[in-house]
């Protein structure tokens, strides 16, 4: 009885655990008491897009923009390297070429005198990681053209795609969507499927928000010189793309040729204190140089100001905190623009050196906007903008119908199989039916425990694994029948039946499990859903067919005298 007791305890423990895991799905999360949610599992089984409804999105990553950023980064490294070597530099410009034409990509270095060229050439040779070569044919003594290695830019393009997928995944995870599908399609496309999303527009905005955070200085002298021009360039809400395009054209026409070298204009927005809507947008003149970027952020949280207005509190890492302290110390009494995706959210005056690595974005947000902004800043900025190519909304009606049809098909097929087993194998068939029900319960509980998503292909995997579980029990019962016909006693026939059926059952389930694991490793989306339920069901089927039913037979033979077996 001792060996029976261990299997009985394991079966009872698994059954009790399965009930606890499936109870939130059966009664609903809202109907569970609060103490349950703090102690026991409270998340219901997740349904996929094809069952629950949701949104299907396909984005294209504008990887050429990532190449532009990489060129600017290289240009910034060149400028800093020259300054560290003592060379006088007028400016360093990044000149990105046409998409997929790296021969046009250039970094142009404008030196104050020809004496700086040997220093530049030595610096380029020293820093081979930049992947730069001097284009002697296009260069002069004071204007040196540097050509980047095409392989470096191609690698940056590919990295931008992978980084975009990771950033999207981090944002969606923090947004709270369970089991999203996020995968690469082709060269520059990303597929995103979000099941059960109630606000698709908000989800799209969260994904597409580049969240490129930069700190730049306001060019106060240029603003003073162009004060009258700037006074006539004020606009209302620029949410509509046409309105924004028209406003940009007007500003560019009025300011473009008048801006000093090294400066540019950006819109600053003001919001209504009550409605939080943008009520005014006007251009500000900033220095092109980015003093600090969001790459040094370690955290971003929603906070509340003195008037209890939502704001986003930023914390920099050690390197960022040092740079921020140096910037605020060197530029006291100047205006520091906090720029997010080329829009100025605020431009406070620097009154003193700010140490500690903390800053605040005050943009007139409401709580939800501040929350979403904090999410995208924590998850990191996208390396390149995303263009929405395809959008499909899957209504829950289709999912409900699929679930209902699946329930009917499962009930009818299961009832037919169980009826056949009871008629053909009698009590042995009844025990196999109990094992089948345990298999189904353990499988659904396993999906809930691993937070897997149930999809239509997953339901197909459940149907297949149940069929294989029935098949395993049939093999055992047929082997027992053969041993009984050979004249063995009921106990000997039972033991021989399990021993001789084991190898056939184990081999068939192992080979199918290998196929399931390969499908999971290399498959995507629906294929993975099928592989998860199939693989999990195979492992559970081995337990219910070989351990549970054997335990019941052993208990019967240990507690009573058996002269016949009903198989």
Pick from 105-119, 179-193, 459-473, 536-550 the range whose average pLDDT is largest. 536-550
On the CB side of 526, how many CA atoms lie within 13 Å of its CA? 7
Domains of the chain and any CATH numbers: 2-53+395-559 (1.20.1640.10), 64-152 (3.30.70), 209-392 (3.30.1360.200)
Partners of residue 59 on adjacent β-strands: 190, 388
- ∠ CA 455-458-464, nearest 5°, is 155
Give the integer Cα–Cα distance in Å for 432 and 540: 14
Q: What is the length of the chain?
A: 567
Q: Which two tokens stand for residue 80?
A: 């800093």
- ∠ CA 11-505-429, nearest 5°, is 60
Is 559 buried (19+), middle (13-18) or exposed (0-12) by CB count in 10 A? Answer: exposed
**Where are the strands (E) in 10-84, listed by range?**
46-47, 54-61
Q: What is the pLDDT of residues 223-250, one digit of tens each?
A: 888 888 888 888 887 777 677 788 888 8
Is 306 buried (19+), middle (13-18) or exposed (0-12) by CB count in 10 A? Answer: exposed
Q: How many CB atoms lie within 10 A of CB 467?
A: 14
Q: Provide the sign of the torsion angle of the four alpha carbons 384, 390, 396, 399, taken in this order.
A: negative
212 within 8 A of 340, measured Cβ to Cβ: yes
Which residues, 6 or more positions from 80, have their beta carbon under 8 angstroms from its beta carbon?
none
Q: What is the pLDDT of residues 400-421, one digit of tens each?
A: 666 677 667 777 887 888 899 8
Q: What is the pLDDT of residues 86-128, one digit of tens each?
A: 777 777 877 765 544 445 677 888 888 887 888 888 888 888 7
Give the integer Cα–Cα distance in Å for 461 and 282: 58
Partners of residue 297 on adjacent β-strands: 316
The pLDDT of residue 396: 59
The pLDDT of residue 195: 74
Which segment of 23-27, 217-221, 244-248 scores lowest on mean pLDDT?
23-27
**Where are the strands (E) in 369-487, listed by range?**
386-394, 453-454
Is pLDDT of 380 > 70? no
Which residues, 6 or more positions from 252, have their beta carbon under 8 angstroms from its beta carbon?
none
Average pLDDT rounded to a whole number, residues 277-296: 83
* Closest residue by Cα to residue 432 from 366, 505, 367: 505
> What's the first-to-final CA gap in the chain, in angstroms?
24
Q: What is the DSSP letter of 548?
A: I
Average pLDDT rounded to a whole number, residues 242-270: 85
CA 337 from chain center: how many Å? 30
Q: What is the pLDDT of residues 305-331, one digit of tens each?
A: 666 677 778 788 888 888 888 888 888
Give the integer Cα–Cα distance in Å for 308 and 311: 9
The pLDDT of residue 430: 92
Give the integer Cα–Cα distance in Å for 57 and 390: 6
Pick from 264-273, 443-452, 506-515 the range whose average pLDDT is largest. 506-515
295 within 8 A of 213, measured Cβ to Cβ: no
Partners of residue 390 on adjacent β-strands: 58
Q: Which residue shows structure tokens 């955070």?
A: 213
Average pLDDT rounded to a whole number, residues 334-338: 87
Give the integer Cα–Cα distance in Å for 290 and 296: 13
CA 489 from chain center: how many Å? 60
The pLDDT of residue 218: 92
Q: Which two tokens stand for residue 352?
A: 């003193």
Question: Based on C-alpha coordinates, what's the Rg of the chain?
Answer: 33
The pLDDT of residue 177: 64
Q: Which two tokens stand for residue 134?
A: 């001097």
The percentage of residues in the chain with a pLDDT greater than 70, rounded to a whole number, is 86
* Closest residue by Cα to residue 452 from 174, 45, 152: 45
Q: Which two tokens stand for residue 440?
A: 């189904």
Q: What is the pLDDT of residues 39-94, one digit of tens each?
A: 676 677 777 766 777 788 888 888 787 787 778 778 878 888 887 777 777 778 77
Is 187 buried (19+), middle (13-18) or exposed (0-12) by CB count in 10 A? Answer: exposed
DSSP 330-357: HTTTSBEEEEETTEEEE--B--S---SS
- Strands 143-148 and 292-293 turn out to be unpaired
145 within 8 A of 108, measured Cβ to Cβ: yes
């Amino acid at each position: 009885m001792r060996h029976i007791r261990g299997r009985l305890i394991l079966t009872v423990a698994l059954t009790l655990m399965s009930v606890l895991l499936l109870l939130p799905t059966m009664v609903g999360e809202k109907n569970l008491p609060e103490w349950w949610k703090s102690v026991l599992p409270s998340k219901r089984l997740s349904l996929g897009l094809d069952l629950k409804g949701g949104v299907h999105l396909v984005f294209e990553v504008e990887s050429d923009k990532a190449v532009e950023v990489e060129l600017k980064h290289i240009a910034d490294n060149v400028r800093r390297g020259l300054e560290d070597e003592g060379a006088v530099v007028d400016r360093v410009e990044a000149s990105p070429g046409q998409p997929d034409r790296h021969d046009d990509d250039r970094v142009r270095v404008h030196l104050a005198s020809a004496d700086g060229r040997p220093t530049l050439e030595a610096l380029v040779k020293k820093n081979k990681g930049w992947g730069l070569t001097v284009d002697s044919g296009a260069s002069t003594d004071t204007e040196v053209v540097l050509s980047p290695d095409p392989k470096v830019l191609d690698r940056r393009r590919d990295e931008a795609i992978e980084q975009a997928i990771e950033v999207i995944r981090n944002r969606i995870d923090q947004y709270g969507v369970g089991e999203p599908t996020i995968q690469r399609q082709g060269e520059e496309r990303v597929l995103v499927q979000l099941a059960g999303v109630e606000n698709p527009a908000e989800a799209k905005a969260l994904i597409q928000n580049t969240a490129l955070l930069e700190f730049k200085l306001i060019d106060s002298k240029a603003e003073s010189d162009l004060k009258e021009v700037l006074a006539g360039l004020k606009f209302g809400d620029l949410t509509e793309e046409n309105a924004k395009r028209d406003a940009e054209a007007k500003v560019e026409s009025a300011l473009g040729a008048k801006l000093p070298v090294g400066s540019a204009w950006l819109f600053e927005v003001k919001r209504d204190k009550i409605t939080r809507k943008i009520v005014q947008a006007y251009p500000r003149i900033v220095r092109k140089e980015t003093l600090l970027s969001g790459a040094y952020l370690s955290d971003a949280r929603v906070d509340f100001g003195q008037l209890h207005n939502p704001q986003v509190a930023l914390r920099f890492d050690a390197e960022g905190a040092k740079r921020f302290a140096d910037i605020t110390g060197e530029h006291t009494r100047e205006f520091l623009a906090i720029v997010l995706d080329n829009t100025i959210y605020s431009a406070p005056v620097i009154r003193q050196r700010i140490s500690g690595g903390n800053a605040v974005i005050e943009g007139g947000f409401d709580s939800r906007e501040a929350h979403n902004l904090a999410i995208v800043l924590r998850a990191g900025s996208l390396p390149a903008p995303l263009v929405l190519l395809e959008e499909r909304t899957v209504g829950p009606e289709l999912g409900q119908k699929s679930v209902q049809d699946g329930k009917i098909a499962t009930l009818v097929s299961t009832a037919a199989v169980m009826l056949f087993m009871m008629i053909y194998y009698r009590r042995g068939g009844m025990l196999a039916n109990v094992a089948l029900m345990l298999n189904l319960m353990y499988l659904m509980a396993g999906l809930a425990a691993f937070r897997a998503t149930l999809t239509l292909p997953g339901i197909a995997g459940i149907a297949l694994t149940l069929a294989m579980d029935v098949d395993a029990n049939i093999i055992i019962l047929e082997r027992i029948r053969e041993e009984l016909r050979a004249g063995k006693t009921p106990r000997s026939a039972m033991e021989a039946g399990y021993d001789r059926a084991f190898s056939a059952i184990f081999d068939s389930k192992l080979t199918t499990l290998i196929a399931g694991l390969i499908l999971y490793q290399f498959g995507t989306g629906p294929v993975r859903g099928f592989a998860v339920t199939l693989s999990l069901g195979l492992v559970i089927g081995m337990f219910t067919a070989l351990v549970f039913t054997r335990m019941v037979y052993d208990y019967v033979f240990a507690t009573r005298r058996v002269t016949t077996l009903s198989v």
